[in-house]
Amino acid sequence: MTTYFAGKTDVAVIGAGHAGIEAALASARLGAKTICFTINLDWVGNMPCNPSIGGTAKGHLVREIDALGGEMGKAADANTLQSRMLNRGKGPAVHSLRAQIDRRDYSAYMKHKMETTKNLVTKQAEIVSLSKNEDGTWKLVTALGAEYTAKSVVIATGTFLKGKIFVGEVNYEGGPDGTFAATKLSSSLLELNIPLRRFKTGTPARVLKSSINFENLELQEGDIDTVPFSFETKTPPENKVCCHISYTNDQTKKVILDNLHRSPLYGGEIEGVGPRYCPSLEDKIVRFADKERHQLFIEPCGLNTEEMYLQGMSSSLPEEVQIKFYKTIPGLENVEIMRSAYAIEYDCVDPTALFPTLEVKEHKGLFGAGQFNGSSGYEEAAGQGLVAGINAAFNALEKEYITLPRSGSYLGTLIDDLVTKGCADPYRMMTSRSEYRLILRQNNADERLTPLGHQIGLISDERFENFKTEIALKEAEIKRLESTTIAPSDEINRLFESLGTAPLTTGCKLAELIKRPQLSYEALAPFDKNRPIISKQVADKVETEIKYEGYIKRQLASVNEMHRLEMKTLKIDTPYEKIDGLRLEAKEKLSKIKPMSIGQAMGISGVSPADISVLLIWLLKNS
């Protein structure tokens, strides 16, 4: 192919999905000249699966992205259709914000944000070749022959890399939502000895709203008091739509089982490994054979479309079988399918080939993010994109990389899990993946990460000053509550009796009362004469920190110990094979993963506490 030189840049990002967007915006905002390539400019920030942002643990990730200076939270707030806080009946560690999103408006918001960001060019082009120049820079070639040179490259190809669509017996090369696949780039990556494998995901059908009988569905409304994702959003999002719930039944199960032999998943046509925690409906029917029914959510895709999304109903069965089993579900008896469900198979990297900086170990300046790294989900992708974009920019600008410890964020946990433990199937973030979830709450993401975001240069001085003011208000209010005494009275004891807690017989500090499970900061407000006017966000933090003070202190002690171990760094060229006392398996695993610290080494499967002790002694002797 004849090529022409199209220009030099600091950072090139391949892909403009949720990972590519955050990578490109972060890089450009940090002052690096950046170009972002996408196969189709009309699908920047597309939501090919669920038109929602957040959810269990995922809401935490969005808050952390925002606290570091990313864009996803603001974009979600600007395009929310319905907002709900999940797990309110449980402890604050698992409270997770989820919002139904107008998918086309979200895409338009992100496209325009990229178009108007200084130092950033967004280009419709397929990258077909990637190679290393003699001077250490990277050469990228498009399908039209344009040749670019970049100091850093972020691969954020999502499900496009050698994408293959499956609907029953039909399969073909393709990307999500009827787009083209990126068919040639994988060859270049293999030539660079980057370990690739095949993963698979799927998406449900989209159906016509007017063909649904809503009278037979459960109504699911949004919260009355909505909460934004971004710490900078001052006006809470407005609920504009309702969602609905229905269930499968024995008839649905029968249709699927009668046609299971036509599923490419069970017929062997699909090679890729599918997501463990988001299986197709046919997979649910087989794996949970004793379950009487499966829940599905019927959700709008936007205000200006009649498409409805059937969450929980992904499938790769033939189109005629899909029509048949969808129509067995209450409310969908006369449903019209607008877009059929499909499975998609794609290439991705073994993430243990990456450092915690998301740089490929064997190739300086080459970074991976999102589904390319083996994860699933928009939020997981965006978080990795942000970190990869920051470090790609810092590589180009010759600055020191950042790494996020797992003890300080879900982003750190996500990346550490991927690069240290790897993943046998598409990785999905869950609160249970973190051993520090009580201190990694979504309501304190700003306290954990905004100082770093400001230090990096993605959080403005004005926002940082506002942040410090809020922290001062919170600390002053906690101190006031710890020193303010409430006297017993008939009125307060009537309230306590109605809430099922013991009456007051003597004066008691407000902070001690808040610690009672039956009481809250708000419930005590009428008896708190000197309560200051503070935001709901600050009030939420105040109550959580008082109510769970003892648990938080214990977990912080564990974090401090982990920080101590994370400070003990390991060199990339540490000669593990020559360290006496290490077991053979540990030598092999440590040599492959090349951990950057003792803390990371502790998370490697096959490295025992005894091996860690040997490493610590070796470090002491060789430091």
pLDDT one-digit tens code per residue, 138-175? 999 999 999 999 999 999 999 999 999 999 999 999 99
Average pLDDT estimate for 511-517: 95
Q: Flag the least confident range among 191-200, 215-224, 609-618.
A: 609-618
Tell me, rounded to whole angstroms, the distance of Cα 31 from its chain centroid.
Answer: 25
Q: What is the pLDDT of residue 66?
A: 98
pLDDT score of 96 more than 80: yes
Q: Is 71 helix (H, G, I), strand (E, B) or coil?
A: coil
Q: What is the pLDDT of residue 276?
A: 79
Across the range 77-96, mean pLDDT stands at 94
Per-residue pLDDT reduced to its tens digit, 247-297 = 999 999 999 999 999 999 887 888 888 887 778 899 899 988 889 999 999
Other C-beta atoms closer than 10 Å to the C-beta of 192 total: 14
Higher pLDDT, 562 or 608: 608
pLDDT in tens, 377-411: 999 999 999 999 999 999 999 999 999 999 999 99
Q: Would you say residue 481 has pLDDT above 90?
A: yes
CA distances, 135 to each of 131, 187, 242, 282, 360 (Å): 12, 22, 56, 52, 18
Percent of residues, the chain, with pLDDT higher than 70: 100
Pairing between β-strand 206-208 and β-strand 337-339 as defined by DSSP bridges? antiparallel
| Per-residue pLDDT, 126 | 98
Res 567: pLDDT: 78
Confidence of residue 414 (pLDDT cuts 50, 70, 90): very high
Domains and CATH numbers, the chain: 4-201+348-456 (3.50.50.60), 206-345 (2.40.30.260), 476-554 (1.10.10.1800), 568-622 (1.10.150.570)
pLDDT value of position 609: 83
Task: Report the candidate in 18, 34, 39, 38 with the shortest Cα–Cα distance to residue 152.
Answer: 34
The Cα 301–Cα 50 span in angstroms is 9
Helix axes 103-115, 18-29, angle to 10 degrees: 30
pLDDT-above-90 percentage for the chain: 83
Mean pLDDT computed over every residue of the chain? 94
pLDDT at residue 484 is higher than 80 = yes
Using pLDDT thresholds of 50, 70 and 90, give the confidence band for residue 621.
confident
pLDDT digits (tens, 9 = 90+) for 521-560: 999 999 999 999 999 899 999 999 999 999 898 888 888 8
At 267 the pLDDT is 79
**CA dist., res. 283 & res. 268, Å (int):** 14
pLDDT digits (tens, 9 = 90+) for 161-171: 999 999 999 99
Residue 526, SS3?
A: helix
What residues are paired with 311 via a beta bridge? 297
Query: 14-52 as b/e, with b when 16 or more CB fall inside 10 Å?
Result: bbbbbbbbbbbbbbbbbebbbbbbbbbeebbbbbbbbbb
pLDDT reading at 89 higher than 90: no
CB of 252 closer than 8 Å to CB of 323: no
> Is residue 491 pLDDT above 80, yes or no?
yes
pLDDT at 568: 85
Q: Give pLDDT tens digits for 48-58.
A: 999 999 999 99
Q: Is the pLDDT of residue 623 over 90?
A: no
